[in-house]
Amino acid sequence: MRHIIWKQEYSLGISVIDNQHKQFLELMDQAYEAFYKNESKEQLSVLIENLRDYTLLHFSTEEKYFKLFNYDGENEHVERHLQLKEELIGLTKKFEAEGPDVVPALIDFLENWLVGHLSIVDRKYVSCFKEHGL
Amino acid sequence: MKYLFEWTPSISVGDPIIDAQHQRLLGEVNTLLSYLISEKDDATVANAVKFLDTYIDDHLAYEELYMEEHRYPERENHIKYHKDFIEHYKAFKGRLNGGASREALALEIEQYIGNWWLTHIAVEDHKYAEFIKSHES
């Protein structure tokens, strides 16, 4: 089993955001590990719920900064978040219906999404956030 | 089981995102309490504490941004309450890691942590909710 870890290359140089991305990956890793340890569906379900709710909290935080800083890429970025939220709801339902077997694919998907998203879409707000003191 | 710390619409702050966060927070406090009482294994308890820890920090930070966005004049004062709570929660974690009994920890959640949240939401958060309602509607 591999571990999902935050890497220096993911850093945006904004500690509040970097910390949330680290936490996001850590929750993925916990779910991944629990799957490979054959934890119960109930236990996995708790971890998937944590992952879902933390994702929402992280997105809300970024979006609150967009508002406060009048970020001009707000609409485009919020649209990406919406797409992922819908994907996430679908994946959570799939987990409820089909059980633990879907966990690795779910986590792989989320990890790829996050890494792609933070290297391209998140980078665009870095200069704006920094100008506002983050 | 009956949950001790329940979110009800009467403590809504009028913002669906923050309301959802409060529901999740209180839910997590109940979960941790039930883990402690039902003698779940240490790793499960540790994971719940860790999640609650991060969720609390990021929720409070989110709320502070929300108050800034809405120019709530008592924001600084409100942040002091948050800081006090975080200190208290850190001490709780210290006792947990230091091997305090499950009973003592459960009692602390019942008597302090859960009640702090319910009261803070109903009283302090209610104040910014009222301010925003009266200034923006």
Instruction: Divide the 134 residues of chain A into consecutive groups of 10 and give the mean pLDDT of each group.
Output: 94 97 96 94 94 96 97 98 95 95 95 96 97 96
pLDDT bracket for residue B39 (50, 70, 90): confident
Q: Does B51 touch chain A (CB under 8 A)?
A: yes
The whole-angstrom separation of Cα A131 and Cα A129 is 5
On the CB side of A53, how many CA atoms lie within 13 Å of its CA?
23
pLDDT bracket for residue B43 (50, 70, 90): confident
pLDDT bracket for residue B80 (50, 70, 90): very high
Nearest CA of chain A to the CA of B101: how many Å? 24
* Cβ–Cβ < 8 Å for A35, A103: yes
The whole-angstrom separation of Cα A17 and Cα B85 is 23
Q: Do B54 and A30 touch (CB under 8 A)?
A: no
- Residue-level pLDDT at B9: 96
What is chain B's mean pLDDT, rounded?
A: 94
Contacts of B38 in chain A (CB under 8 A): none
Contacts of B15 in chain A (CB under 8 A): none
- Residue-level pLDDT at B3: 72
pLDDT exceeds cutoff 60 at B1: no
pLDDT exceeds cutoff 70 at B98: yes
In the stretch 67-106 of chain B, residues with CB closer than 8 A to chain A read: 68-69
pLDDT digits (tens, 9 = 90+) for B55-71: 999 999 999 999 999 99
Which residue in the block uniquely carries the two structure tokens 């980078």?
Answer: A123
- Residue-level pLDDT at B102: 94
* Cβ–Cβ < 8 Å for A87, A117: no
CB pairs under 8 A between A and B: 39
* Cβ–Cβ < 8 Å for B15, B66: yes
- Residue-level pLDDT at B2: 57
pTM higher than 0.90, yes or no?
yes
- Residue-level pLDDT at A47: 94
* Cβ–Cβ < 8 Å for A86, B86: no
Nearest CA of chain A to the CA of B62: how many Å? 6
What is the ipTM score, two decimals?
Answer: 0.91
Contacts of B62 in chain A (CB under 8 A): 57, 60-61, 64
The whole-angstrom separation of Cα A31 and Cα A37 is 10
Pull the structure tokens for residue A25.
């990956």
Of the candidates B31, B44, B68, the beta carbon closest to that of A68 is on: B68
* Cβ–Cβ < 8 Å for B118, B126: no
Of the candidates A23, A50, A57, the beta carbon closest to that of B21 is on: A57
Q: Distance of CA A29 to CAs A2, A17, A45, B79, Å?
A: 9, 18, 14, 32
